Amino acid sequence: MKISGGCLCGAIRFDGNADPMFQAKCYCIDCRKTSGAGHAAMMGFADSALRFTGQAKEYQSKADSGNDVMRAFCPTCGSGVYARNAAMPGMTFVRAATLDDPNLFKAQMIVWAARAPVWDAVVADVPTFAESPPHP
């Protein structure tokens, strides 16, 4: 899959040509707050599959899972662009909202569904986990 995208102002751009390892919607508190919405939609890629240009600002915190998560955003426009989770080294999670073609995103799972606000309903036709799915 050929993907490209970037932040609102265009200062950060990315591209790649690989299929995502997974695509998920997350309703955890951090994803809700950093997305400014009821959930965050993301695509997980091997780090080597993506090329980024521009300088992102990074914010690190503990996720609901207890893992360290680094979220990268544009220091000019504030758009969240990608994240990395210490529990999944070698992977980058691109925010689907930053894709040039957001229709490339197809949710394969929903995580932290127990935290979904009533105004952003969880869809019934996607495998859903109340919290985080078990890691292999």
pLDDT higher than 80, residue 136: no
- Number of structural domains, the chain? 1
Asked whether residue 59 is domain-assigned, the answer is yes
Q: Which residues form the domain of 39?
A: 2-114
Buried b / exposed e along 49-72 (16+ C-beta atoms within 10 A): bbebebebeeeeeebbbeeebebb
Asked whether residue 120 is domain-assigned, the answer is no
What integer is the mean pLDDT of 18-42?
92
CATH number at residue 69: 2.170.150.70
CA distance 35 to 119: 15
pLDDT higher than 80, residue 13: yes
Q: Which bin fits 11, alpha (ψ -120 to 50), beta or left (φ > 0)?
A: alpha
Asked whether residue 132 is domain-assigned, the answer is no
Asked whether residue 34 is domain-assigned, the answer is yes
pLDDT tens-digit map of 95-106: 999 999 999 999
pLDDT tens-digit map of 34-48: 888 999 999 999 999
